[in-house]
Amino acid sequence: MSLKFVERQQLKEKPNIKEVAFGTTFTDYMVSADYNKDDGWHDFKIIPYEPLSLDPSTAVLHYAQTVFEGLKAYKVDGETVLFRPEENFKRLNRSLERLSMPKIDENQALESLIELLKIEKDWVPNGKGEALYIRPVVFATSKSINVLPSSEYKFLIILSPVGGLFSQDGLGTTKIYTEDKYVRAVRGGVGEAKFGGNYASSMLAQEYANEKGYSQVLWLDGVEQQYLEEVGAMNIFFVKNGELYTPKLNGSILPGVTRKSIIEFARDRGYTVHEDRIHIDDFKKGLEDGSVTEVFGAGTAAVVAPVSHLNIHGEELKVGDGEVGPVAKEIYDTLTGIQTKRVEDKFNWVKEVK
């Protein structure tokens, strides 16, 4: 692979990872590529992380044609590793298609990321729960406010060192608010795409949940507002009579790589895992009668987020004894174990950067 590299004059000072807020510090370099109708995707390169010059008419600023991805690089025994990165670039392409944006060569995108990570290897932190968060993003760059798919796009990969999202060391618990007024996504819409607009449109409900003392929103389906979908930037799982349940992908749920991985290795470890259409009232009943013993969110940023309390239809319910449960702990340990090569990587999910 021949990737153009523009070196910067001076490298940044590396911050103290314990002190940086999530997603506010970026490394020295980024991947950049451009798309136009004649050349397709072209000019893949690694350049200094620096401001972009964008015309006020740039399409993304008006019509929000933007999709992104999120994955992490971990430092294991001095080596940089990735967890199932092909899945993220596959999903990026599905998102691009849904938003009428041009697909990108998955291998080329991944290879450019690997080149970038080689250069930025000293930015990958190695403390517990720490990682280098990777943000591929594609957005519309036509200088036109005509409401049409843009004819030009930019692809970037930027990198940001992070600690754990919810807590700095391992597993805390979180309180969740079930949203029954606002809707995140609906079948026929864009919920299964990692589309920027899904996040902007979720923020108001997220703010209301925070005001009420909850850290995340549990979304219900957009049609009946009765079926579980997902939680903030995580998919949701629960344990009922010792078996795992998670909502079935239905077009409005983001198909998480963490979700998919948990389903796969939990089955391998002997768990029965149900992907079902789950009615909020059935779920609530399970919490009330004690058959639902654990609830947790799962996603790249937080890894596993055990839920201590859930507000459903205005009523606050405690999950089990309100502490981190054994299944969530096992899932967390297994997943982070595979990612950091302390647990056997049976499925060949870990990719070394070299």
Ligand X SMILES: Cc1ncc(COP(=O)(O)O)c(C=O)c1O
230 binding ligand X? (CB under 6 A): yes
306 binding a second copy? (CB under 8 A): no
Nearest-CA neighbor of 112 among 32, 55, 177? Answer: 32
Single out the residue of 73, 116, 183, 254 in contact with ligand X (rule: CB under 6 A): 254
What string marks each residue from 258 to 277 as x (binds ligand X by CB under 6 A) or -?
xx------------------
Nearest-CA neighbor of 199 among 187, 191, 208? Answer: 191
Single out the residue of 108, 126, 151, 160 in contact with a second copy (rule: CB under 8 A): 160
Binding piece for a second copy, criterion CB under 8 A, among 153-161, 242-250, 260-268, 317-325: 153-161
Residues numbered 216 to 235 that lie near a second copy (CB under 8 A) are: 222-223, 225, 232-233
User: How far is residue 350's CA from residue 257's CA, in Å, rounded to a whole number?
Assistant: 13
Nearest-CA neighbor of 7 among 43, 44, 46, 34? Answer: 46
What string marks each residue from 183 to 222 as x (binds ligand X by CB under 6 A) or -?
----------------------------------------
Single out the residue of 96, 117, 209, 233 in contact with ligand X (rule: CB under 6 A): 233
CB contact burial 243-276 (16+ within 10 A = b; e otherwise): ebbbbeebebbbbbbbbebbbebbeeeebebeee
Question: What angle, rounded to 10 degrees, do the helices at 326-339 and 257-268 form?
Answer: 110
49 binding a second copy? (CB under 8 A): yes
CB contact burial 77-99 (16+ within 10 A = b; e otherwise): eeebbbbbbebbbebbbebbebb
# chain residues binding ligand X, by CB under 6 A: 13
Smaller CB separation from ligand X, 164 or 299: 299
Two structure tokens written together for 222: 């957009």
Query: Which residues form the interface with ligand X (CB under 6 A)?
Result: 70, 230, 233-235, 254, 256-259, 299-301
